[in-house]
Structure formats: C-alpha cells, structure tokens
Amino acid sequence: MLIGFIGLGNMARAIIAGMRESEAFRHAPIIGSDHNEVKRREMEERWNLTIVADDIAVAQKADLLVLAVKPQALPVLFERINPSRKRGQCILSLAAGRPLSWLEETLGADTPIVRAMPNVAARVGGSVTALCKNGQIDDAQKDLATAMFRAVGQAVWMTEERMNAFSTITGAAPAFTFLYLDALASAGLKAGLPKPMALEAACHMVMGAAKLALETGELPASLIDQVTSPGGTTIEGMHTLKALGFENAVHEAVQAVMEKEKKLREGK
C-alpha cells in the first residue's frame, strides 16, 4: 500500500520520522508534497520521502492518503484533489474539529476514512493517538493506521464521541503538564536549586510517577496513600494543593478546552 502525505509540517514530520525509525516502515515507499521547498527538501534528504509534483499527484497515487494540513486548508484542498483521487483510496485525516460526518459529506459516504489525533509528543515517540473510523475501513487499512501511530507511541481506537474527550486530555493537557513542570522548577529555584537542575528533576519525577501508575496498575489514590505518612511532610503539601483548588482547576481547564472545541466545531 502506497502511503502519501499532503502537508509536510510539524505533525507529518514527526510521524514520518517515527515511521522511518520503525522496522515496519524503514524502507516502505512514502510520497509527499508541501507548498514549502525547504520542507520538501528536508523530507527527501533526511527521511527518504519521494516528493511528487503537488497535492493532486499525491492524491492520484496514494492508497492511504494522509491529510496533514491545517483544518481550515481542507475545503480548498478537497476542491483540488477530489476530481482525481485514486479509486478505493483510504483517507487518514489529522484535522482537529472536522468530524467523520463532515469528511464523508465532502469526500463521499463510500470513502474509507480514519481520523487520528496524535499529540506533540509524537516528536519523541511518546504520542497517545486517538483513532476512529467510518464503516468503510477494512482490517488491512485499520492495521496500517495502527502500525503508523505505534511508530510514534500508543494507538488507541475508540468511537468518535469518545475521541473529543480523550484528545482533550492527550492534546491539551501536555501544555498543562508543561505549566506544572515550570511551576515545580521555579519552586525549586525559590528553594535554592539552579532552575535547570530543578527542571530536570521535575521532568524525571513526572515520568517516573506516570511509569509507576502505568506499570503497577495501582490507582493514583492508592499511590498517594503510599507516599503520605501520618503527620509527615507530603500530606502538608497535598493539603495545601487541595485547599487552593488544584483538582478543581484541572477539571475546569479540561471543561474550558472542550467548550471551546465545541464552539469551533459549530463555527462560532
């Protein structure tokens, strides 16, 4: 199956780099196009991508066509490629806020379509990618999409309804985590540590804590119990975070992202 990318920006580059570093796609033929000459050249030289004339040429040749352009660029792109897209082609859209129903309306209800929402950690193979599909996708197409996103982290299939909530956590919450890391590093600075040292310690701590929760399968509440001894120091900090509304702030932040996404989907 020939894979083609339209758009070779940040996300396409992360995915293609991950694919080239995985056994499954190391030598697989991948074609692509982008408006930008520098991006085209970089992908050709660094990641052995075959650059074709333009978006129409990718759409004419690819069996799996990855749409890696900004969501607002899709209507113009479809006008260009729809008349000459390869028959039976599977579409893989990375666009936020463009549901399967919208894609089917624009591409035809008989088009096999996958939506994928990776996150910024795809750059280091640490994405958690939400995937959903329409009824036209066959097992081979589903397996191919799974393999592509396993090359940059985890691939999790779900219904489209779940995808919105899931990708709020995986898409927006990295920024919340960077905020938390920055706050920990400046608290470390205040306590007398050089900031780079405090930041590195905070990053390793977050990775270690997440690994512990994942690998033991223990609930966070149980892990909290294990690190808070009676009359100890950690419970003082936990009490302060709770008193200042830490959990509530996280809930409100997730809600705010979901509300904004809904407004964008409705074109408000």
Ligand X SMILES: NC(=O)c1ccc[n+]([C@@H]2O[C@H](COP(=O)([O-])OP(=O)(O)OC[C@H]3O[C@@H](n4cnc5c(N)ncnc54)[C@H](OP(=O)(O)O)[C@@H]3O)[C@@H](O)[C@H]2O)c1
Note the residues at the interface with ligand X (CB under 6 A): 6-7, 9-12, 33-36, 39, 55, 68-71, 73, 77, 94-96, 117-120, 171
Identity of the residue, 18 or 188, whose beta carbon is nearer to ligand X in the bound complex: 18
Task: Output the smallest distance, CB 60 to ligand X, in A.
Answer: 13
Residue keyed to tokens 């270690």:
208
Identity of the residue, 73 or 189, whose beta carbon is nearer to ligand X in the bound complex: 73
Identity of the residue, 131 or 198, whose beta carbon is nearer to ligand X in the bound complex: 131
Task: Report the SS3 class of residue 123.
Answer: helix
Task: Output the smallest distance, CB 239 to ligand X, in A.
Answer: 36
Identity of the residue, 57 or 193, whose beta carbon is nearer to ligand X in the bound complex: 57
- Nearest residue to ligand X on Cβ basis: 9
CA distance 15 to 21: 10
Residue of 125, 126, 120 whose CA lies nearest to 175: 120
CA distance 26 to 17: 10
Our CA angle for 83, 99, 95, nearest 5°, is 75
Identity of the residue, 70 or 251, whose beta carbon is nearer to ligand X in the bound complex: 70
Q: What are the Cα distances from residue 24, in Å, to 30, 50, 142, 143, 232?
A: 12, 18, 15, 12, 50
Identity of the residue, 38 or 221, whose beta carbon is nearer to ligand X in the bound complex: 38
Amino acid occupying residue 257: V
Burial state string for 195-229 with b = 16 or more CB within 10 A and e = fewer than 16:
eeebbeebeeeeeeeeeeeeeeeeeeeeeeeeebe
Task: Output the smallest distance, CB 36 to ligand X, in A.
Answer: 5
Identity of the residue, 69 or 151, whose beta carbon is nearer to ligand X in the bound complex: 69
Task: Output the smallest distance, CB 164 to ligand X, in A.
Answer: 13
What is the token pair recorded at 254? 């997730």
Task: Output the smallest distance, CB 211 to ligand X, in A.
Answer: 23
Question: Do 13 and 118 meet the contact criterion of CB atoms below 8 Å apart?
Answer: no
Contacts of 181 (CB under 8 A, 6+ apart): 199, 202, 203, 206
The DSSP H or E segment spanning 85 is none
Task: Output the smallest distance, CB 27 to ligand X, in A.
Answer: 24
The DSSP H or E segment spanning 67 is strand 64-67
Question: Do 163 and 261 meet the contact criterion of CB atoms below 8 Å apart?
Answer: no
Task: Output the smallest distance, CB 23 to ligand X, in A.
Answer: 25
Task: Output the smallest distance, CB 67 to ligand X, in A.
Answer: 7
Identity of the residue, 40 or 142, whose beta carbon is nearer to ligand X in the bound complex: 40
